[in-house]
Amino acid sequence: MLTSVWVDELDEARTREIRELLLAARAADGRPEITDEGPLPFGDGLHLLGRAGDALVGYAHLDTTGDSFGRQVAELIVHPAYRRRGYGAELAHTLVGKADHNVRVWAHGDRPAAARIAEHEGFHRDRELLVMHTPVREDWAEPRLPEGVTLRTFVPGSDERAFIDVNSRAFDWHPEQGSMTVDELLATERDDWFDPDGFFLTERDGRVIGFHWTKVHPAAPGEFGGKPVGEVYVVGVDPAAQGGGLGKALTLAGLRYLRERGLEQVILYVEGDNAPAIAVYSRLGFTRYNVDVQYAQ
């Protein structure tokens, strides 16, 4: 029998339990992104803990603040050792009963079990987030910038506002990225992984018109030979500057930097319906590796 409880704040013991569950899921599935220390990969909101006896067998997080369009977003994870016992369906039903009618729910990986639960709760497949991957390549050429455009790296304490402004214009359609604030960027700059040398900006006439922010993930057991992996974290171009090859040039600048750091593998996340971006990444050697699915009522 599953016992479920909602909490709005996590104490040390519950945080430790949730981390252990997420680490087990990462070892089995490759996601979510979680480390042995530091904060859990969730923001504010509510936490749903599902127990079978004394064991934490499932966990869900409900972001009550919502995405850029005000829609609540949740994700639900069952411990790999307790799957195929109906716990996921019970947790999903409890989650849906608490959330707004417009909630979106993430499923890591395109799994038949998640699809069955979603259908049972009246959800449909609303969004795909592709994970693409490539080994580091020697044929990543020197980026060719449009005339009058210069390339440099991000300067902390100076470039935050310029980046946020162009990011907002480039991703005004995006449920998460487009709403990023200066304060959120400053908080990210304090994270261990932040590296301004891997954060590229392009300018024309002294105005930032594009960026490529790279990231390096620590080694994860069972993935990519247990070695660190680079990521094309986010590439954005001001809509007024699109169409001149700037996105490809920025992507190449970041890829070459990750190669220079000695990394052997690179991943990226891209919306499944963003055909132009997928075409650019495919020509650079990326292939589909996995997919996360968001379900909506």
The binding site for acetyl-CoA comprises 76-78, 235-237, 242-248
Question: In this structure, what token pair is assigned to residue 49?
Answer: 């803990």
The structure tokens 């310029």 sit at 162
Contacts (Cβ under 8 Å, ≥6 apart) of 246: 145, 146, 149, 202, 209, 210, 237
Which residue ranges make up the annotated binding site? Answer: 36, 76-78, 176, 215, 231, 235-237, 242-248, 269
Question: In this structure, what token pair is assigned to residue 297?
Answer: 């009522």
Q: Which residues pair with 212 in a beta bridge?
A: 200, 235
* Other Cβ atoms closer than 10 A to 238: 19
Separation CA 174–CA 105 (nearest Å): 16
Q: Is the peptide bond before 196 cis (omega within 30 degrees of 0)?
A: no
